[in-house]
C-alpha cells in the first residue's frame, strides 16, 4: 500500500476547521437518521442473517442490496465482478468517496439459538451438503451499507461530491475485490479519492469502534498438502509407508518454523486446520491431506514461511521413504491490509467528534485477513476500521482470570449485539464518508 497520494492530500487539506464544525453539526443529524431507520434496519438485518449465501452464490443478497440502494436514490449497476453491486449518488462538485460492504457467508452450522438463526443448507462446489451461516458479520456489513445509503440521501443538503457504495461478493474466497476491480470498478464508475469499510469485531464492546494506522490485517495464504504412502494392514506396518505418521511428524515440525526460523519480533502463524486420512481402524492408508492457513505481515516473512512449509513437507516424505513427492498447492492468498496513515487520521478525528472520543480506540494489528487490501493496491488510499459487536459486560467478564472466552467470528456461536451494533455502524459509516465529502 502506498502512502497518501496527492489527490487524498488535497482532499484532506480541503476540509478545514470549518469542515470540523460542519461535522459536529451533522453528528446530531446522523444520530437522528440512525434512530429513525433503526426498526427498518433491524428487520433487514434479521432477514439477511436468516438467508445467508456462500461465496460466489450471493444472488439473492445482491438483489436485495440493489433494491435497497435504488430505493435510497442511487444509480445502481449489478453483475459487476460476479454478483457485485455498484451504487452511485452524484451530489454536486467535490471528492468521490467509496464505501465497501461484503455479502458472502460461511459453511457453518449456526448454534446461537436466535429466533432468526440460519437454517439454510445447500450443496457446495464439491456437491457436499453444508449448512450456511453469516458467522463473519457480513449481514451486519450489508445492513450498515443500506443505512449509509439512506443517510447520505437524507443528508444530501449537508455535503457535496460523489458517493460510491459497493456490495462485494466472495470476500471469504478472497476473490470478490479483484473480480470487481478487473470488471472496471475504477474505470467504468467514478474513481474515488478514498476507499472506506468497516468489519465487525468479536472482541470490542458494542457502541465502540477500533482502528489501526498502517499494517492492520495480515497476509494470509491457504496451503493444501497431500502426503503419499503405501497402504496396507494395520497389523503389518513394516510392509507399508504410513502417511498418518508422516503427517503427524509434519504437523509438529511445522510449528518449529515460527518458533525457530522467524524473528520473534515478526508476527507469524501456521495453523493446520484440517487433516484427513484413512477409513478404518486396521487399515494404513496411502494418502493423508492437510489444509493450512498461514499468516504474516511482511512480504519477506510470508515468503520464508511458504518456502519452509514446502521444505518440511518434502523432507518428511523423504525421511519416510515415501513413494511419491508430496503435492503442495498454495491458494487464496491475500496481502496484508495497510491503512493509509493520513486518511486514517482524518477519519478517526471525525469519528471521535461524531461518536465521542471514548468510543474510538486504537487497537493492535489483527492476524485475520481481508481482500479489502486490493482496493488500496490500486493506488487509492484506503482505511478499514473495526466495529464493536459484543455486549460490554461480556467483554469485561472475558478479560478476568478464568473468564468465559468470547465466540470468535467464524464460530457457530458468534452473534453480534444487534441494536447497538447496527446503530453504531450506521453512525460511524455516515460520519466517516461525510467527513471526506465537501461540506455545504
Cite the active site residues: 104, 171
Q: Tell me the C-alpha distance between 347 and 341, whole Å.
A: 10
Q: Tell me the C-alpha distance between 204 and 395, whole Å.
A: 7
Q: Tell me the C-alpha distance between 365 and 437, whole Å.
A: 28
How far CA 385 is from CA of 64, 84, 167, 255, 405, in Å, comes to: 25, 22, 17, 31, 23
- Nearest CA to 100 out of 419, 373, 294, 436 is that of 373
Residues 159, 440: contact at Cβ < 8 Å? Answer: yes
Which residue carries 482470570 as its cell? Answer: 401
Which residue carries 471528492 as its cell? Answer: 95
CA dihedral for 12, 16, 22, 28, sign (positive or negative): positive
Q: Tell me the C-alpha distance between 368 and 47, whole Å.
A: 27
Strand partners, 72: none
Amino acid at each position: 500500500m502506498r502512502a497518501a497520494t496527492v489527490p487524498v492530500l488535497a482532499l484532506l487539506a480541503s476540509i478545514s476547521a470549518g469542515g470540523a464544525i460542519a461535522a459536529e453539526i451533522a453528528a446530531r443529524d446522523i444520530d437522528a437518521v440512525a434512530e429513525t431507520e433503526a426498526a427498518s434496519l433491524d428487520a433487514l438485518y434479521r432477514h439477511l442473517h436468516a438467508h445467508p449465501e456462500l461465496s460466489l452464490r450471493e444472488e439473492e443478497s445482491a438483489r436485495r442490496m440493489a433494491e435497497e440502494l435504488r430505493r435510497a436514490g442511487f444509480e445502481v449497476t449489478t453483475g459487476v465482478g460476479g454478483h457485485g453491486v455498484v451504487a452511485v449518488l452524484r451530489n454536486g462538485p467535490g471528492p468521490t468517496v467509496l464505501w465497501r460492504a461484503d455479502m458472502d457467508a460461511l459453511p457453518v452450522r449456526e448454534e446461537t439459538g436466535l429466533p432468526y438463526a440460519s437454517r439454510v443448507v445447500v450443496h457446495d462446489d464439491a456437491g457436499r451438503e453444508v449448512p450456511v451461516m453469516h458467522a463473519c458479520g457480513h449481514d451486519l456489513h450489508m445492513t450498515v451499507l443500506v443505512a449509509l445509503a439512506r443517510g447520505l440521501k437524507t443528508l444530501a443538503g449537508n455535503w457535496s461530491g460523489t458517493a460510491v457504495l459497493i456490495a462485494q461478493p466472495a470476500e471469504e474466497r478472497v476473490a470478490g475485490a479483484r473480480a470487481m476491480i478487473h470488471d472496471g470498478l475504477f474505470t467504468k464508475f467514478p474513481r474515488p479519492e478514498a476507499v472506506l469499510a468497516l468489519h465487525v469485531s468479536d472482541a470490542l464492546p458494542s457502541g465502540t469502534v477500533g482502528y489501526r494506522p498502517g499494517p492492520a490485517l495480515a497476509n494470509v495464504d491457504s496451503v493444501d498438502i497431500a502426503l503419499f504412502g503405501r497402504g496396507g494392514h494395520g497389523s503389518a506396518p513394516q510392509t507399508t509407508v504410513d502417511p498418518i505418521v508422516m503427517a503427524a511428524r509434519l504437523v509438529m515440525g511445522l510449528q518449529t518454523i515460527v518458533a525457530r526460523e522467524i524473528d520473534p519480533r515478526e508476527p507469524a502463524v501456521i495453523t493446520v486446520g484440517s487433516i484427513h486420512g484413512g477409513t478404518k481402524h486396521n487399515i494404513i492408508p496411502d494418502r493423508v491431506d492437510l489444509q493450512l492457513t498461514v499468516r504474516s505481515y511482511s512480504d519477506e516473512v510470508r515468503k520464508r514461511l511458504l518456502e519452509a512449509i514446502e521444505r518440511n513437507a518434502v523432507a518428511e516424505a523423504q525421511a519416510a521413504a515415501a513413494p511419491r513427492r508430496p503435492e503442495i498447492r498454495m491458494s487464496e492468498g491475500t496481502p496484508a491490509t495497510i491503512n493509509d496513515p493520513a486518511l486514517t487520521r482524518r477519519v478517526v478525528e471525525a469519528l471521535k467528534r461524531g461518536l465521542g472520543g471514548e468510543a474510538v480506540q486504537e487497537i493492535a494489528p489483527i492476524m485475520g485477513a481481508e481482500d479489502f487490501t486490493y482496493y488500496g493496491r490500486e493506488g487509492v488510499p484506503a482505511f478499514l476500521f473495526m466495529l464493536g459487536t459484543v455486549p460490554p459486560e461480556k467483554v469485561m467478564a472475558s478479560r478476568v482470570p478464568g473468564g468465559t472466552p468470547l465466540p470468535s467470528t467464524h464460530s457457530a456461536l458468534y452473534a453480534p449485539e444487534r441494536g447497538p451494533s447496527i446503530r453504531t455502524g450506521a453512525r460511524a459509516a455516515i460520519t466517516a464518508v461525510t467527513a471526506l465529502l465537501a461540506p455545504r
